[in-house]
Structure 1
Amino acid sequence: MADYPFPDPIVDTSAAHEVARDLVVIPSQDVDLVPNIGLIGGSQAVLVVDTGLGPRNAEQVLKFATEYAAGRRLYLTTTHFHPEHAFGAQAFAGEATYLVNSAQATDLSAKGDGYLAMFRQLGTAVARELDGVELPTANLVYDDTHELDLGGRVVQLRPTGRAHSRGDQIVTVADASVMFTGDLVETGQFAIFPWFPPHDTDVSGVRWIKVMEHLTASNPAIVVPGHGSVGDARLLVDVRDYLTELRDETWVRRDSALPVETIAEEVRALMISRHPDWRLPEWIDRGVGCLCSEY
């Protein structure tokens, strides 16, 4: 197992801060494999959005959430099934009601073991956090938009359909104009394409663009991305525009029948030149591969 070359993927609850009334974000602080985690409060309950990587991170999130809830009921949802977002849900068993959309529940069941094995190979620090993981089973599974009443505040949980994953979910707090996007949106980095043929090819660049067009039209005041700094609706525009240019530059080269490797090399250089400050350019090649398959 290779050494993990990044900071340990540990959630730091001490960095939590309020972004709206009774709405807190535990930030990723640009640490790889640490997501932005949300706590959304109403008079009767608190909803936690995402768990962190593995049970020990999730235990810290649960401890923070229990103190924050101060006797209110706890709910948990996850934006999608990937390990740093959902593979700590076991820590909430018996303490919170876990609810997800049906496509995400299917992802967890069908792909969870494979992703657990893959992530454990990323390095010792990651494997350590995944030690003892038990893949979760939701208490409540729904097909379409789910309205969760927390007491004086209704949170909308809405599946988007296939995009970054098959079970992506947007969490919207209408009264505060806040949107949690999961990995449909990141700040300051290239979009994550989990394109791993033949094992996982559910990511769709074409549908992802359509999802982003719809989300952009909603124009939320505050956007909490899967990773990176909290921002506003411009984050949605940035992702939509990047995915569109990635598609266009890939497809114009596909018209010329160039090999996928050549297309990826050319498009990667172009995207880096256009976004020199963005992180994780290694995801560009996987995005090109995905979009070539959808040509």
Structure 2
Amino acid sequence: MNLPDPVVQVSGAVDVASDVLVIPNDHVGLVPNIGVISGTEAVLVVDTGLGVANAAAVAEFASEVARGRRIYLTTTHFHPEHAFGASVFDGSYVVNRAQAEDLRRKGTGYLEMFRGFGGAIAERLAETEVPVPDEVFDGVHALDLGGRTVVLRPTGRGHTSGDQVVEVPDAGVLFTGDLAETGQFAIFPWFPPHDTDVSGLAWIEVMDRLIAAAPRVVVPGHGTTGGVDVLEGVRDYLRELRDETWRRRDSAMELAEIVAEVRAVLIDRHPEWAGQEWIERGIGCLCAE
């Protein structure tokens, strides 16, 4: 598999609100949007990029922003391009309990799977180990950065079991991780029998709750930052996928037929979207729900 080198370009960082920076992924595969959120006493980094070298570049950038203030790290979920550089942020990595459990149970398998892509991906993960959080919390965690409180809010099962959104209430900014993307089909990590934690139905419910909160700025896991329309677009697609899949499943069609028909319908509706490979996995997930 010849994938481009997933380099995090810290030089492209942009302000999306006062003292809220986003290092954009610029639509490069396996590069997430990364957040750097500042208060008067501390700075919070959201996601690391894939591997130690990317995370080191992010940490250096965050240090320049922090100018001596404490730096915390959190990750939106356990997948390698979001979390597998956390060891660089020694002593400051904070996640919810379900995400910590995802890292413990599934981290090694995902590390091996991603190394199996070969090329630049394998090279970036050569010196990487599955991260271990420094602080694990239950419920909702309010992190005081000094004059600004950032809320780390687990959403329950959706894209993964340990999904967590990061809210900056005073700025109206929401970091979603891979619960939301723009310009691509929703990523369904449906890999039976090894990983079947993704839930299309629960994911729709999560999106409804996030939409109801009406954030001003939404930073998706991958793709272009926008407003609440980012969330609405993902919710509407998930409903499409559910309805088209269930209509055929309930008519007792074979799975291969369902996949072929639903895939054709959705690509016809969204011809410009990337990630067509995720349609089949989403159909498989929803057929099982």
TM-score range, shorter chain: over 0.9
1:10 corresponding residue in structure 2: 7
Equivalent pairs counted in the alignment come to 289
Instruction: Pick from 58, 67, 80 the counterpart of residue 77 of structure 2.
Output: 80
Instruction: Pick from 40, 43, 58 the counterpart of residue 40 of structure 2.
Output: 43
Structure 1 outlier segments of 4+, above 2 Å: none
Residue by residue over 1:33-72, the C-alpha shift from the partner in whole angstroms, topping out at 9 and shown as x without a partner, is 0000000000000000000000010000001001111111
Question: Residue 170 of structure 2: SS of its match in structure 1?
Answer: helix
TM-score, L = length of structure 1 = 0.97
Structure 2 residues without counterparts, runs of 5 or longer: none
1:235 corresponding residue in structure 2: 230
Separation of aligned partners in 1, 2:197 and 2:129: 23
2:263 corresponding residue in structure 1: 268
Letter in 2 for 1:223: V
Separation of aligned partners in 2, 1:66 and 1:76: 12
Separation of aligned partners in 1, 2:169 and 2:256: 44
Confirm or deny that 1:22 pairs with 2:19.
yes
Instruction: Pick from 29, 33, 43 the counterpart of residue 32 of structure 1.
Output: 29
Confirm or deny that 1:69 pairs with 2:66.
yes
Percent sequence identity over matched residues?
63
Structure 1 residues without counterparts, runs of 5 or longer: none
Letter in 1 for 2:61: F
Q: CA deviation at 1:12?
A: 0.4
Q: CA RMSD in A?
A: 0.7
Question: Residue 125 of structure 1: SS of its match in structure 2?
Answer: helix
Instruction: Pick from 162, 165, 172 the counterpart of residue 170 of structure 1.
Output: 165
Question: Residue 132 of structure 1: SS of its match in structure 2?
Answer: coil
Q: CA deviation at 1:123?
A: 2.3
Instruction: Pick from 56, 59, 63 the counterpart of residue 59 of structure 1.
Output: 56
Letter in 1 for 2:9: D
Separation of aligned partners in 1, 2:242 and 2:166: 27
Residue by residue over 1:249-284, the C-alpha shift from the partner in whole angstroms, topping out at 9 and shown as x without a partner, is 100100111111110111111011111111111100
Question: Residue 16 of structure 2: SS of its match in structure 1?
Answer: strand
2:220 corresponding residue in structure 1: 225
1:122 corresponding residue in structure 2: 117
Separation of aligned partners in 1, 2:257 and 2:52: 42
Letter in 1 for 2:282: G
Q: CA deviation at 1:136?
A: 1.4
Q: CA deviation at 1:15?
A: 0.5
TM-score, L = length of structure 2 = 0.99
Residue by residue over 1:213-258, the C-alpha shift from the partner in whole angstroms, topping out at 9 and shown as x without a partner, is 1111111110000001111100000000000110011001001111
